[in-house]
Amino acid sequence: MHNALLPLITALKKKKALSGVSALLSWDQETYMPEGSIEQRAEQLALIDSISHAHHTSHDFKSAMAEVVDLKTGLPRIDGLTESEKTMVKAVWRDWQKTNALPTAFVEELSKATALGQHQWGIAREQNKFLDFAPHLQKMVELQRKKAVFYNMEGHAYDALIDDYEPGMKMADINPLFDALRDAIIDIRKRIETSKATFVDISESHYDITKQWDFGVDILNEMGFDFKRGRQDKSVHPFTTEFNRNDVRITTRFNPNDLLESFSSTIHEGGHALYEQGLDAYWDGTPLAEAMSLGIHESQSLLWENYVCYSWPFWDGHFNKLKQYFRYEFTGVSAEQFYRTINQVQPSCIRVEADEVTYSLHIMLRYEIEKALISGDLDVAELPTLWNQRMADYVGITPPNDTQGVLQDVHWSYGLFGYFPTYALGNLYGRMLFEQAESEIPDLNGSIRRGEMLALKTWLNDKVHKVGRGTTPSELITHITGKELSVTPFVNYLKEKYGAIYKVKL
């Protein structure tokens, strides 16, 4: 690495360390923290976040940057940098610009509002009292509007928020993709509803939680999750967090009457974790050792969850392993019957429990609501009514209460506006990546059947993970697949898979 970059690298590693402390406090809040300490935890998080912000906006950090980059243009000021070093410097400059756009007082206010709002969301969700959370949500919407103004980016305020999670992506890019995807999925859903296909019932059994845990860990090991550099715990809302690339933590949740709830969240979060563990150690602490975007991140979790672990090759090879854990629960059930049953299209009120076909409809609903909230076209008080109307229109069901409706997701309490569209984008990215992997890895589905998944992990390490933030998501997809981002591969996949399961023409 060029010697002139070393002061900047040192400053970046301090920033990364502070970020890790904040992540550790948040992870503890979701897993082990006593409920009574929320006020103190909010103060702790606000302090760490303000220290991190102060460091990133400090004279010392600015000086380290000014040695190697023009602070007005982001262009390198020194000769002899490699292309990777130039890319890294430009990404650092971009982050620095956005951080400096936010006043320290605003960062502290946002951090405290996030901690308090998240806590109140949990209570409101449990008690089904949207009105108790509404003032916190209104506060968060106002803060997000302020943040967009501070960023001073061209276009709609919501574009500025999307850019935090999917760099370079705008509503103008997303809208046509989502319009086409929504229409295609609603058509598929309605055609499936005409099918007379039958399925076995596996819902009446009691699935021992310890066995659920052990089976999930078995599959994580097959996927290549490194337990020496990570761990799994329990939480209400499954998530992945990393303090550094050698300490990546996932959480899952369990339902003794639903085997798939823990299995899905374990594999999904495991896919996220493989991305973090697969980042390039050489660039540790810099943007080239950070995930490219949340859409690309979601492509990894959905690829492993849906295209690997909910596939026929997987269960053709793993159903007997599952029966070793649950010997009596699947008596008389074949691997094919199990595969078809777990892939039923059963519209759900809950996003994280949604089937593969209707999942993206949940995202589009949230995307449309976020746009309206940020633009001021929708009042927070109107949110439950609009939510229920869109659920009926898109998914075909109406939530019985706000806990299963507008209160189900933690994201808005955390201020994660612009985050939701990355989930549906992840489906599109993930399908294109998996099909490319199939074309390049000999007998990939045979390897999945046998539980030999390290070849896929290695392919993703090389093609996606080690790139870090070295390019944009759209450029990455085009480079790997030779095609621009499209809904067609994902829609064709749904038609082929679910046409066979339901024996209908899609």
Q: Is 269 a catalytic residue?
A: yes
Mapping DSSP to helix (H, G, I), strand (E, B) and coil, where does residue 273 land?
Answer: helix
Q: State the distance between the two ends of the chain, measured CA to CA, in whole angstroms.
A: 54
Q: Give the position of tokens 């610009």.
A: 97
SS3 15: helix
Closest CA to 135 of 121, 154, 152: 121
Residue with tokens 């302090």: 47
Asked if residues 393 and 269 have their Cβ atoms less than 8 Å apart, the reply is no
Question: What is the per-residue burial (b if ≥16 Cβ within 10 Å, else e) of 253-283?
Answer: ebeeebbbbbbbbbbbbbbbbbbbbbbbeeb
- Residue in 85, 166, 261, 269 annotated catalytic: 269
What secondary structure letter does DSSP report for 487?
Answer: S
Cα distances (Å, whole numbers) of residue 20 to 27, 52, 249:
10, 10, 12
Q: Is 366 exposed, middle or buried (0-12, 13-18, 19+ CB in 10 A)?
A: buried
Q: Fill in the DSSP letter of residue 395.
A: T
Helix (H) or strand (E) holding 40: helix 38-56
Residue 39, token pair as written in the block: 């006020």
What distance in Å separates the CA atoms of residue 440 and residue 452, rounded to the nearest whole number?
A: 16
Q: Give the residue numbers marked as catalytic.
A: 269
